Structure 1
Amino acid sequence: MKIALVGYGKMGKIIDEIAVQRGHQIVARLNETPTAETLGNPDVVIEFSNPKAAFDNIKTCLELKLPVVSGTTGWLTQKQEIEQLALANDTAFLYGSNFSLGVNLFFELNEKLAQLMKNFGEYSCQLEEIHHTHKKDAPSGTAITIAEGIIRNTDFEAWKLDETKGKELGIFAIRQDEVPGTHSVFYRSEVDEIEIKHTAFSRKGFALGAVISAEWILGKKGNFSVRDVLFG
């Protein structure tokens, strides 16, 4: 495939390396809002930029009828508009808060555990995420996805930054050195604690998942998630 990379930071560079290893051609490496001229006529766009730029980046590509895979978090209040644009332009959009296989397995495990814990009121639930100090959004998109999975399967009504209180599920967002990403879910009672945890050792797992998603989306129309890629 011919791939345009929109957002060429640390993740973009690793995606570049993995895509080339898998036999793809990188036709654009952009850190500015793309245009028809600068994109290089790609088959697919992979967008990992920043929360302020993501909407305009994705919108431009969809209006050019290009399929887009995006892993940028922190802009999702506008996601519905982007999904409508993908349909209106007869192309495809795939969003992932995290493209790692391990994290997506963790998402599934998290929902199953939430279903089990729903009827045991003696346990309180708390989330924690740790990321590198350069990460601009808090909580992480991954933590929000985890929280949404718990809310769907329990009596919680919303999430918030801080400690769990009442119907609000708490997320502690910690920023620490060069940590790629650690996410934990705790269920605590007076007598014990249950914890599930995912720890990323590098960004390569995220990058590989993004490239696999770009391979998968080619030729498709509509809106998708990493779950569609991994689990059908």
Structure 2
Amino acid sequence: MKIALLGYGKMGQVIERIALERGHEIVLKKDEFNTYEGLQNADVAIDFSVPTAAVPNISSCFNAHVPVVSGTTGWLDQYDEMAALCMAQKGAFISSSNFSLGVNLFFEINAYVAKIMAKFDSYHVAMEEIHHTQKLDAPSGTAISLAKGVIENSSYTNWTIENPENTNTTEIYIDAKRIGSVPGTHTVTYNSTVDAIEIKHTAHNREGFALGAVIAAEWIVGKEGIFTMKDVLAVSAL
């Protein structure tokens, strides 16, 4: 399989290594200093760039009829526009806040726990996410996905990064921290006056994110439409 890497930072380099180990070929390494030359030769593109580059990268893929897997976050206010372009060009698209197998299992666990805990209003949910200091968006896309998983299965209506004074609020507080070189830690806590219930995912390195992205790229080749990691992994706890 011929892969175009859109974004060649630390994640892009790990993806390159894993892709080569799995027998694939890299036909483009796109960064801010070069062009899309070679994109037309790719079977699939993997986008791990920055928020400002995501939409140009993704739209270039659809216009070149190259399926795209995007792990870039911080641009999703334009997601509907990219989804519409994908459908217009009969393309294929997976956008995920996190491609890690473990995180996608965590998403399902989180939604299941939220559904159970919704029956007990003595517990109030809050979240903490910790990432390396080079991460540009806060809160992380993964934290937002976790918050949405709770909102869809409870009476919560929104999330906030402003610490609410009233613990009975319908907003989920996300404490976004940037520390050292932490790959990613996400904690969801249900607090009451007598105890706390906590679920947590800790990434040890970038390997899981990169492997998941390559697996998603392998899966999407030859398909048409808009998909999620649930489709790739065939996982659903609910």
Same fold (TM over 0.5): yes
Q: Tell me the residue number matched to 1:196.
A: 199
Q: Tell me the residue number matched to 2:75.
A: 75
2:32 is paired with a residue whose SS is coil
More displaced, 90-99 or 29-38?
A: 29-38
1:162 is paired with a residue whose SS is coil
CA separation in 2, counterparts of 1:8 and 1:156? 38
More displaced, 159-168 or 43-52?
A: 159-168
**Is residue 220 from structure 1 mapped to residue 223 from structure 2 by the alignment?**
yes
Percent identity (aligned): 56
Q: Tell me the residue number matched to 1:95.
A: 95
Q: Tell me the residue number matched to 2:214.
A: 211
Letter paired with 1:114: A
CA separation in 1, counterparts of 2:118 and 2:34? 46
**Is residue 174 from structure 1 mapped to residue 174 from structure 2 by the alignment?**
no
Cα deviations across residues 157-186 of structure 1 (Å, max 9, x unaligned)? 111113355111110000000000000000
1:153 is paired with a residue whose SS is coil
CA separation in 1, counterparts of 2:33 and 2:70? 14
For normalisation by structure 1, the TM-score amounts to 0.97
CA separation in 2, counterparts of 1:101 and 1:81? 27
Cα deviations across residues 197-227 of structure 1 (Å, max 9, x unaligned)? 0000000000000000000000000101111
Is the contact made by 2:28 and 2:37 (CA closer than 8 Å) also made in structure 1?
A: no
Is the contact made by 1:183 and 1:198 (CA closer than 8 Å) also made in structure 2?
A: yes
CA separation in 2, counterparts of 1:124 and 1:4? 44
Q: Tell me the residue number matched to 1:141.
A: 141
CA separation in 2, counterparts of 1:204 and 1:111? 25
CA separation in 2, counterparts of 1:37 and 1:122? 57
| Runs (5+) with no aligned partner, structure 1 | none
Letter paired with 1:125: V
Is the contact made by 2:123 and 2:191 (CA closer than 8 Å) also made in structure 1?
A: yes
Is the contact made by 2:28 and 2:36 (CA closer than 8 Å) also made in structure 1?
A: no
2:227 is paired with a residue whose SS is strand
Q: CA deviation at 1:26?
A: 0.4
CA separation in 2, counterparts of 1:160 and 1:56? 29
| Runs (5+) with no aligned partner, structure 2 | none
Q: CA deviation at 1:65?
A: 1.0
**Structure 1 residue ranges (4+ consecutive) displaced by more than 2 angstroms after TM superposition:** 32-40, 162-165
Is the contact made by 2:3 and 2:44 (CA closer than 8 Å) also made in structure 1?
A: yes
Letter paired with 1:169: I
Cα deviations across residues 91-112 of structure 1 (Å, max 9, x unaligned)? 1010110000100000000000
Q: CA deviation at 1:38?
A: 4.0
Q: Tell me the residue number matched to 1:124.
A: 124
Q: CA deviation at 1:33?
A: 8.4
Q: CA deviation at 1:89?
A: 0.5
CA separation in 2, counterparts of 1:31 and 1:147? 32
For normalisation by structure 2, the TM-score amounts to 0.94
